Structure 1
């Protein structure tokens, strides 16, 4: 059958500048319920809970799958109506939408909205807007209101028009685990949004955008003279004043904030012009602060009479290092280390300093954690100046002239520090990014005898961290190092002739089943629905089977599509077979195995089925049996299951007699064969 998309009707735009006060909505929401221990999964941490399969509500807990990160939650039903409280009082940020051509897209800019007491307000990327809404169970109706009429660039305006148009089509919604999905009357996801977590005063790197110059004027911060502020949990405030680092103390009581006199380093900066005057004005402004507020990730510090002292936003290029980046684990120098000795800046007796106490020396890194590259090694007994620390106190920052920004990070466990009680907390640099082996337009040869798999990594933006999935290749030999092959992708499937690597793409403009022609580096698209996932190849390499919950009822179905690039929307043809998920193609026959149930939603387990949808036959009868994979000779199937022995384990089922053998036996979950 053929699926075509059409753009939704336009959302009414009315310029009402006098109603701009409606734009700002409340932040926050109820905390999520603690989830039970999860089975192994390739789904990123922040991914919404996967839509249920056709198993009935009373079926055992569903097995994890390789469902795409962007897959929306199950469409609302009368039996499971969402409550208005889950929708309201939260600032929602748009993470996905249907563009004017009806295709899934991700916003490059920031679009937010808030539902509160029947009024919807927000900003769609350029203009503020408002509307009214009504909720009846899981049904949501939005009545167009108005918008400001500012002009922005064409891309932003097109995105804004699409988002507003989608709002006019909304018929229902689902809120689950901090994710809001808005559906049209056919159950198609129009908008996906994530609850904004309002930052607290501490634990965030704040970057100043405006300061009071002390002459009754609020001015912008000079370019290339960034001012930062880090409010630590121990009551210290530190950062960069534009030229010098500073440290002081602060106290908070409600929204009242008092900041002490700052101590600074004593550098003089000639450039950029005016930086020293700006620094003096900023430090003076800190002394006048009497209160603070945080709204939409903006921190404002105000004086006792309400004047603005300074305004900050959350920094997007630095973080307050948490336990996952500022590892408390020792960072010993290996006996066979090849790092070059590093010269440290000498420390005067009156300034903070340190001496290396590790017998083999200490690694000097470009950031506070073992994920950061090593600049060199400071040998036992080396001394130098300490200019900062990590927020958790596990890493010192030493003055290293040859290191990036003149800063080298060392594990505090190996340093005997002196005069270091008041050194400032310094922001950590962004974690290094790994370049994928396959680049668009560049040929790539998939090595022989490799295992393809996907794994998560942490991407940090400001004080936020994201789990992303990437595809790796590793030689099937002990001790081999994995190589990143494709970033923002998961569920790899290499064609029989090794010419095309298919996968589920998490790239914002190519969500769904995609791939690479490895001989040319050409990027391919095999589907255009963000819900399509779990690709597997036919033995001849001419077709791909996949699973999707793209339809309005959000039930998983099996599809087969020709393995040709679908850049042309008219090529979007897919053969729908039957309900099910986790498909795998027999290595030599027109036969599939999948996870599913009978037509009544009962007798769930693994089923075999012809590639034309015929001869659906039950293969196993435990509802949690999932992710089946054929043996290379088709004689057996390996799968994962929880319901058989009370823990996620791997099993083998023989095709000849149906006998099942447990393959793993470990208290930790085993799965994803």
Structure 2
């Protein structure tokens, strides 16, 4: 379901919570000669499906997710507010040491879900992984159901340009150009799409973490100034060697001079 988001507030320090986090096949000795192995949950984008608190099940809003890094750093979104946390794992028991969350004003139904999820993320959680499903259960029986979602592939994905990058600074697209520029990489080493105004086609040679773009062929239409400004910026990036990185459904391309772009993939099934 889709939910409306409102104004953004400052980061707020939470009371200790318990979050999904455990080793990537981590083993832990307990002093008895046995070894406990935790389920693999790190390095995975887990979409939150639902939360059950006090016997009441609440379906998660779009965007609710949890990602746990290999060192135990967790980040995610409750459906409106995002959070970070430092987590600790002992076998299949997961505990958070510190957590912060943003303080956006959210739609009433989303706020109710966030309250329920915060309650479920308290105390100790037991993690159980079955296939692509992760279930986190509190000592009192409350639970969070999550499903893993693999990162979007570079090729075959329609990447919609969402930002321009200069050095370490990312900026929004010129007003009126949102969703006007898209890229699709082919298995045959081609790339095609729109630059904000004109359609283009070029070659894209992928080697490790680099993409080398060849000379582009494009149409020759004239468009309003904001769209032409976006097109000029994108042509400068999509020329020669760039580095790329995919973080779940986000693609980053950076040229040697530090200029770059950010793009996103559509949600699965859309």
Q: TM-score, normalised by structure 2?
A: 0.75
For residues 246 and 135 of structure 2, the distance between their equivalents in structure 1, rounded to whole angstroms, comes to 26
Partner of 2:87: 132
Tell me, in whole angstroms, the C-alpha distance in 1 between the residues paired with 2:199 and 2:221: 9
2:41 aligned residue (67, 87, 96): 87
| Structure 1 pair 118–280 and aligned structure 2 pair: CA distance change class (3 A) | closer
Q: Return the offset for 1:183.
A: 1.7
Answer yes or no: is the 8 Å Cα contact 1:124–1:164 preserved in 2.
Answer: no
Task: Give the equivalent residue in structure 2 for 1:173.
Answer: 127
Shift of 1:140: 1.6
Q: 1:233 aligns with which of 168, 179, 187?
A: 187
Aligned to 2:231: 279
- Cα gap change, 1:183 to 1:309, in 2 (>3 Å): same
Q: Is the 8 A contact 2:177 2:226 kept in 1?
A: no
Q: Does structure 1 residue 295 correspond to structure 2 residue 247?
A: yes
**Is 1:96–1:192's contact at 8 Å kept on the other side of the alignment?**
yes
Relative to structure 1, the CA distance from residue 310 to residue 288 in structure 2 (aligned partners, 3 Å threshold; closer, same or farther) is farther
1:213–1:283 Cα change, 3 Å? farther
Larger relative contact order (Cα-Cα within 8 Å, sequence gap ≥ 6): 2
Matches of 1:302 and 1:128, distance apart in 2: 27
Q: Partner of 1:146: helix, strand, or coil?
A: strand
* Counterpart among 138, 145, 151 of residue 198 in structure 1: 151
- Aligned partners of 1:175, 1:135: CA distance in 2, in Å? 15
Distance 1:224 1:113 in 2: 27
Deviations 1:180-212 (A, max 9, x none): 011233555x11111120122112110000125
- In 2, Cα distance between equivalents of 1:118 and 1:234: 37
- Give the match's secondary structure for 1:162: helix
CA 199–225 in structure 1, closer or farther in 2 if over 3 Å, else same: closer
Cα deviations by residue, 1:115-173 (Å, 9 ceiling, x for unpaired): 4456251122312220423233xx42323522034323244444333222212155322
How far residue 83 of structure 1 moved from its aligned partner, in angstroms, is: 3.9
When residues 245 and 118 of structure 1 are mapped into structure 2, their CA distance, relative to the original with a 3 A threshold, is: closer
C-alpha contact (below 8 Å) 1:229/1:240 kept by paired residues: yes
CA distance in 2, matches of 1:213, 1:268: 25
**Which residue matches 1:247?**
201
CA 1:118 to 1:262, structure 2 compared with 1: closer, same or farther past 3 Å? closer
Please give the TM-score of this superposition, normalised by the length of structure 1.
Answer: 0.32
The answer for the alignment partner of 1:315 in structure 2 is 266
Q: CA deviation at 1:302?
A: 0.6
Q: What is residue 29 of structure 2 aligned with on the other side?
A: none
Hey, what does 2:67 align to over in structure 1?
114
What does 1:476-555 correspond to in 2, within 5 Å? none
Instruction: Say if 1:204 and 1:231, in contact at 8 Å, map to a contact too.
Output: yes
Match of 1:424 in 2: none
* Alignment CA distance shift 1:168-1:196 (3 Å): same
Q: Count the aligned residue pairs.
A: 238
Q: Indicate how the Cα distance of structure 1 residues 212 and 116 shifts in structure 2: closer, same or farther if over 3 A, else same.
A: closer
Q: Secondary structure at the residue paired with 1:95?
A: strand
Contact 1:213 1:278 in 2 (8 A): no
* Gaps in structure 2 of 5+ consecutive residues: 1-11, 16-20, 26-34
Alpha-carbon displacement from aligned partner over 1:255-297 (angstroms, at most 9, x marks no partner): 0111112111223334xx5212322221222115520011132
* Unmatched tracts of structure 1, length 5 or more: 1-12, 17-24, 31-80, 317-458, 462-673
Aligned equivalent of 1:147, options 100, 107, 114:
100
CA RMSD of aligned residues (A): 3.2
SS in 2 for 1:87: coil
Q: Is the 8 A contact 1:15 1:149 kept in 2?
A: no
Structure number, greater radius of gyration: 1
Cα deviation, residue 213, structure 1 = 8.4
Partner of 1:420: none
Paired with 1:276 and 1:213, the residues of 2 have a C-alpha distance of 18
Q: Distance in 1 between matches of 2:101 and 2:93?
A: 24
- 1:288, 1:310 → 2: CA distance? 14
